[in-house]
Amino acid sequence: MKLVFAGTPDVAVPSLEALVESHHEVLAVITRPDAPAGRGRRLTPSPVAARAEELGLHVLKPAHPRDEDFQAQLRALAPDACAVVAYGALLPQSALDIPRHGWINLHFSLLPRWRGAAPVQRAIMAGDPAIGTATFRIVKELDAGDVYLSQSMATPEETAGELFGRLARSGATQLVQTMDLVEAGQTPTPQREDGITVAPKITVPEARIDWTRGSEELRNHILGCSPDPGAWCELAGERFKIYRARLAEYADLAPGEVAATKRQVFVGTGQGALELLEVQAPGKRRMSAIDWARAGVSGRVLS
């Protein structure tokens, strides 16, 4: 089939590369406009735009997909379908109607669970035993379209960033398989009406750690918020971030109380303890918890 690919961040790049390597023809790439980045806040192309240019593909960067000039360019390309991975803008019906097989999205959850912007983060934070990806035809209602393929696995003990990378690679193969099914004329399956949950973006206030919660719940909270926005608490009145932690057996620590040995750093919770693995103290870079603890932390309390 003749395809147009739409995507923006790093997690979309494996799918672009997989489609280019498939027997389908990628006519062009749609991505978000260049945005300020880095210390100099210079306008920088998205990761997908940068990779598309390396591959010699035509790149479209509409301010919004409802723009008439953009839609005219898309009609001229006449794609059979548009493949989408984390494009980052809502698609109006006038754009959805252009390709004859519609827009097919790779979503990072087991739909209908976790429709929305932060599906991987929410699944980790909720302690879901399984996680995965689904491909579906985009409709006006958010992430509610009929599903072509769904692929699941047991949720590993990884940060949201690490798990996004893993799912981006496996999902790239899934998206190519989906395009093969679309080409073969397969009809997608409507989503279940039960079990629908939404996954809004995680805010900085929401990422704050409440040390009275149990250790497993807090481990999931920390991994789900890592790397962005980063789970945080306060140490001596200043923000202290924790990027990675795991369950630990360490008795007699009050919620937020810190203790350290030569090789490990522990913190008490409302039920059980955590071993801190990667942290960022105020004014410091991210570092291993044991490096941070060498300055002496026993008896200190995170709040």
CATH code (residue 64): 3.40.50.170
* CB contact at 8 A, 115 and 193: no
Residues 151 and 10 in one domain: yes
Do both 221 and 188 map to the same domain? no
Q: What is the pTM of this model?
A: 0.92
Residues 86 and 169 in one domain: yes
60 plus 169 within the same structural domain? yes
Q: Count how many domains the chain has.
A: 2
Q: Which of 166, 198, 230 is the last residue of a domain?
A: 198
Residue 110 annotated as lining a ligand binding site: yes
> Has 77 been labeled as part of a binding site?
no
pLDDT at 236 (0 to 100): 87
The pLDDT value recorded for residue 251 is 73
pLDDT of residue 38: 78
Query: What range defines the domain where residue 165 resides?
Result: 2-198
* 112 carries a ligand binding annotation: yes
Contacts of 121 (CB under 8 A, 6+ apart): 160, 199, 202, 224, 225
Other Cβ atoms within 10 Å of 207 Cβ, number: 21
pLDDT at 147: 98
253 known member of a binding site: no
Residues of the chain with pLDDT under 70: none
6 shares a domain with 130: yes
Please identify, among 141, 176, 198, the residue that sits at the C-terminal boundary of a domain: 198
Last residue of a domain, one of 155, 174, 198: 198
Rounded Cα–Cα distance for residues 243 and 229 (Å): 10
